[in-house]
Structure 1
Amino acid sequence: MALRCVAALSLLAVAAGRFQGFRRGNVLHDPPQGAESEELWFTQRLDHFNGADSRVWKQRYFTNDAFYQPGGPVFLMIGGEGPANPAWMKEGTWLTYAKEVGALCFLLEHRFYGKSHPTTDLSTSSLRFLSSRQALADLAHFRTVMADSLGLSNRKWVAFGGSYPGSLAAWFRLKFPHLVHAAVATSAPLLATVNFPEYLEVVWRSLASESADCPVLVKQASDALAERLKDPKTFENITKDFKLCSPLQIQSESDSAYFLETLAGNFMDVVQYNEDNRGFEGVQGTNVTIKVLCGVMGNTSMGDPYSRYVAVARLMMDTFSMKCLDSSFNNYVRDMTNTSWDGPAAEGGRQWVYQTCSEFGFYQSTDSPNQPFTGFPLGYQVKQCARFYNISAEEVAEAVAQTNEYYGGYNIRSSRIVFPNGSVDPWHALGITQDITAELPAVFIKGTAHCANMYPARSQDLPQLSEARDHLLLLLQQWLKR
């Protein structure tokens, strides 16, 4: 939560539902006001792997032919675990590349997200048609039909994606090499894993890169809050401190874990998207950076670390115009078990958590001592799979093992796939950060966060980010000559 370019959502987006996996803010967000691009619809099979099932549905896509030169390549941007944003048909580094090479551009929304509704609801029986394998089959069928109908069969197709869609881009090239010539797999986690405490370990290191004391102070604050949650006498003050929507109630370990995870999510989100250029998508909060949060945590005039933690939470609520914070785990369960397309978690929360339970894991737990938070262990997160979808912990583990068996994890064997990652981004811990072969290169960009190379260039970009974008263009130009 785009894969989001998105385990738990912080209070920044709690009202929209929480994602277990990629943190909030997919590379393909809701469109900002003024972003206009015609919605187009493509007929897909509901189940690509059952020839006896003839049911079909309409998948949303967008196109941009402004840069296309006859004989040029075709760029296919892959949608992820949220609504596809037509703003990406107007801005973004991939369009800079398209202009250079004369490419025709498509953006295909992922099944079950945005307006691409294959089923009448989000019940668990419906969600069985939601998987990366079905999504790849969607891509393959889209590519085949569009190539035939538009006379593009002899053109070279290049897949683009960031975060989970970055993984899909790599896997599309891996599984359908006859259909896609090359892939740019940005910030792509290639290894599925049930427990992913390394995410929070990178959060520690990224905070420490600003100030060595910062993650230590965050740890002290998180520990202090966890201790207070053990004493009901503190609940009234905690309710006031964090402007909770209703009086704090801790009746189970899940209640406590949910609250602690929500507040930790402020730091997790800011680290993941630190100093990026998402503003062009209409995203709020891009002015809140690691530097800002560590500045608050290091401000001794605000009191002890707990008080500064409160100040961070209030800063984030103000940033997103939130009057109060819903810290109720029961409300979260209510939202996540609502199976209607009009439900509060239907934008992607219920769907993405299902994918983590049925394919990927990616649970960002506090099970490592080398991270700054307290109180949301793996067990708390995996239990949600059973509660929401009747998927047991054993089934989660088996599903993750099957995913790695099917795609190969880190041991990917293919060609013409490049893997850009940022050192600040916690997801690089599951990505490719060193060249596998000359045909499977990594581009590791120091000082940048999640999907940074995909956003439009700007004057304040780090030199190494600009160099990385240039390097990616050169790679594409070389590969398209083959």
Structure 2
Amino acid sequence: MAGTVASLALTLCTLLSTAYCYNYSTERFRVPVDHFSFAVNDTFEIRYLVNADHWREDGGPIFFYTGNEGDITMFAENTGFMWEIAEKFKALIIFAEHRYYGESLPYGNNSYTEPKYLGYLTSQQALADYADLIKYLTANQTEYNKSPVIAFGGSYGGMLAAWFRMKYPHIVAGSIAASAPILQFTGLTPCEAFYRIVTSDFEAASSECSNSIRKSWKAINNVTSSDGGRAWLSSAWQLCKPLQKQGDVSALKDWLIDIYTNMAMLNYPYPTNFLAPLPAKPIKVACQFLPDSKQEEKPLLQSLFKAISVYTNYTGKTKCLDIGEDATSDLGERGWDFQACTEMVMPMCSDGRHDMFEKKAWDFTQYSDTCYKKWKVRPQPDLAVKIYGGKDISTTSNIIFSNGLLDPWSSGGVLRSMSTSVRAVIIPEGAHHLDLRASNPADPTSVIEARRAYQYFISTWIKQYRKQQTKKKRLLSRNTTE
């Protein structure tokens, strides 16, 4: 009966698209600030969310979400697949918060003040936090009856889920790594690939739409070249702060790039409220306002304002547009910006011909200088590849890399299976980790089939794990007898 009620609740949550649908308790676990040296003895608490409604404590699996760059409650409420299959597998659900995000701040309000406090924000340290947490959660289980751990994650969280299996195979039995761009690094993926996928999403909706956006950059430059033009655009676009100098115009264009990118990532087949309230297929909705790329500059920019309002003001409640607010502000942009300035250096560029953006080359020197100005650190572009292997992951096992072809991050994803146990799952109609979201009547067949495949592999990994545990137990018994 309890399972039926839970299933009904999940169905209602999905249909109503409401937040806070899932029940969990909030716990905290103390970890070292630095797992890898003996010079710093500071500790702090990471937050994690727990649901044990269906868990069979004598060895039922642990479904472990490797938290990424944001408040962990947001990921818990947008990763319905884990919740939906927990009853079938009798699993414990854990959502672990990434250090320096949400409430898991090592040095409280000082955490982001200077490198001596912020320098422990790395993927390696976060994975060590998760390893310690799992050891704690399974401490009371017998050595040969421990719960197999299945890691889940989307985007950066998907990268962590994959790397967790690679670096801690004795702790993690298998990983579902959704939309995980582990190849979006220097020398592995062409820098122009990301924005070409964004462009293809808009072109698929309408060639006039992508052409309108391509032409809009010149229109913005021309209109804002005078004080009167900047005043006109500030009024026409209802900007909270008027454009006064060239730096404001550059900020406006960066803001637009974020919007187009996010719309591509969130081009889901049903309404969502993940980064912003959005309709189903938001790119298609936005492109309805851009039917004619031959418009004069000011009419074109007026049409563009209506198109971007699908992202910035779909509810109609926003009174003015704040371009100083990053389009992904709720995802912990400060922490991710620091990570992008240290180990997560993901080169991106555009040429203005094969994509709908202004021409912009990848300039690592300029990028490094900008990072130093903001954070007093210099990026290490080869660090992630050196630590995790880049394309050389043939020795690992039990990882599913899934990528939706609507998702620009698929440019850096694993798109071909590496072996029988490191599989690539391609979802042609999928946007950013759509497969980890809750089931929805509008889900394309490719997503439904992908989720079935995941359950098959999860079952296989759990059987493998239990078989290994049984074998160890028999060997121990034999050695004890002898």
TM-score (norm 2): 0.82
CA-CA distance at 1:327 after TM superposition: 3.5
Change over 3 Å in CA distance of 1:124–1:469 after alignment to 2:
same
CA-CA distance at 1:326 after TM superposition: 2.9
Q: Does 1:109 align with 2:109?
A: no
The match for 2:476 is none
Residues 78 and 437, structure 2, Cα contact 8 Å, conserved in 1: no
The partner residue of 1:180 within 172, 183, 197 is 172
The match for 1:21 is none
Instruction: Spell out, residue by residue over 1:89-126, the C-alpha distance to the aligned partner (whole angstroms, 9 max, x if none).
Output: 79611122222221111110000000111113212321
Q: Does 1:374 align with 2:335?
A: no
Of stretches 257-266 and 280-289 in structure 1, the one that deviates more from structure 2 is 280-289
The match for 2:30 is 43
Instruction: Spell out, residue by residue over 1:170-222, the C-alpha distance to the aligned partner (whole angstroms, 9 max, x if none).
Output: 00000111111100000001124268432211011111122233211210122
Residues 158 and 183, structure 1, Cα contact 8 Å, conserved in 2: yes
CA-CA distance at 1:258 after TM superposition: 1.8
Secondary structure of 2:44's counterpart equals strand
The match for 1:240 is 235
Residues 87 and 281, structure 1, Cα contact 8 Å, conserved in 2: no
The partner residue of 1:85 within 73, 78, 87 is 73
CA-CA distance at 1:229 after TM superposition: 3.2
The partner residue of 2:387 within 386, 391, 406 is 406
Secondary structure of 2:214's counterpart equals helix
Q: Does 1:137 align with 2:128?
A: yes
CA-CA distance at 1:345 after TM superposition: 7.0
Residues 258 and 376, structure 1, Cα contact 8 Å, conserved in 2: no
The partner residue of 1:100 within 88, 94, 97 is 88
Q: Does 1:123 align with 2:113?
A: yes
Amino acid at match of 1:163: S
Residues 277 and 452, structure 1, Cα contact 8 Å, conserved in 2: no
Instruction: Spell out, residue by residue over 1:306-354, the C-alpha distance to the aligned partner (whole angstroms, 9 max, x if none).
Output: 33212223443332532222345xx98xxxxxxxxxxx97961211100
Of stretches 205-214 and 293-302 in structure 1, the one that deviates more from structure 2 is 293-302
The match for 2:258 is 265
The match for 1:468 is 450
CA-CA distance at 1:248 after TM superposition: 0.7
CA-CA distance at 1:250 after TM superposition: 2.3
Secondary structure of 1:420's counterpart equals strand
Instruction: Spell out, residue by residue over 1:226-274, the C-alpha distance to the aligned partner (whole angstroms, 9 max, x if none).
Output: 333334441111111211222212244xx43321121232222111110
Equivalents in 2 of 1:110, 1:245: separation in Å? 33
Amino acid at match of 1:162: G
Amino acid at match of 2:339: Q
Equivalents in 2 of 1:282, 1:202: separation in Å? 20
The match for 1:214 is 209
Secondary structure of 1:476's counterpart equals helix
Equivalents in 2 of 1:300, 1:256: separation in Å? 22
The match for 2:470 is none
Change over 3 Å in CA distance of 1:98–1:296 after alignment to 2:
same
Change over 3 Å in CA distance of 1:300–1:260 after alignment to 2:
closer
CA-CA distance at 1:287 after TM superposition: 4.0
Residues 45 and 106, structure 2, Cα contact 8 Å, conserved in 1: yes
Equivalents in 1 of 2:86, 2:253: separation in Å? 44
Equivalents in 1 of 2:29, 2:271: separation in Å? 28
The match for 2:332 is 348
Amino acid at match of 1:384: T
Amino acid at match of 1:225: I
Change over 3 Å in CA distance of 1:176–1:143 after alignment to 2:
same
Change over 3 Å in CA distance of 1:129–1:368 after alignment to 2:
farther
The match for 2:403 is 421
Secondary structure of 1:362's counterpart equals coil
Amino acid at match of 1:59: I
Residues 192 and 400, structure 1, Cα contact 8 Å, conserved in 2: no
Equivalents in 2 of 1:216, 1:86: separation in Å? 35
The match for 2:53 is 66
Q: Which has the larger radius of gyration?
A: 2
The partner residue of 1:323 within 319, 325, 330 is 319
The match for 1:162 is 154
Amino acid at match of 1:362: M
Secondary structure of 1:441's counterpart equals strand
Amino acid at match of 1:128: G
Residues 218 and 305, structure 1, Cα contact 8 Å, conserved in 2: no
Tell me which of the two structures has the higher relative contact order, counting C-alpha pairs closer than 8 angstroms and 6 or more residues apart.
Answer: 1
Amino acid at match of 1:66: D
Of stretches 355-364 and 422-431 in structure 1, the one that deviates more from structure 2 is 355-364
Equivalents in 1 of 2:271, 2:384: separation in Å? 30
Residues 67 and 75, structure 2, Cα contact 8 Å, conserved in 1: no
Residues 367 and 377, structure 1, Cα contact 8 Å, conserved in 2: yes
Equivalents in 2 of 1:37, 1:86: separation in Å? 13
Amino acid at match of 1:406: I
Equivalents in 1 of 2:375, 2:273: separation in Å? 36
Secondary structure of 2:181's counterpart equals coil
Residues 272 and 449, structure 1, Cα contact 8 Å, conserved in 2: yes
Residues 63 and 89, structure 1, Cα contact 8 Å, conserved in 2: no
Instruction: Provide the alpha-carbon RMSD of the alignment.
Output: 2.8
Residues 51 and 92, structure 2, Cα contact 8 Å, conserved in 1: yes
Secondary structure of 2:72's counterpart equals coil
Equivalents in 2 of 1:35, 1:96: separation in Å? 10
Q: Does 1:385 align with 2:371?
A: yes
Change over 3 Å in CA distance of 1:231–1:193 after alignment to 2:
farther
Equivalents in 1 of 2:456, 2:51: separation in Å? 22
Equivalents in 2 of 1:90, 1:450: separation in Å? 12
CA-CA distance at 1:405 after TM superposition: 1.3
Equivalents in 2 of 1:238, 1:281: separation in Å? 29
Equivalents in 1 of 2:120, 2:79: separation in Å? 32
Equivalents in 1 of 2:310, 2:49: separation in Å? 37
The match for 1:228 is 223
Secondary structure of 1:266's counterpart equals helix
Residues 263 and 311, structure 2, Cα contact 8 Å, conserved in 1: no
Amino acid at match of 2:440: R
Of stretches 62-71 and 170-179 in structure 1, the one that deviates more from structure 2 is 62-71
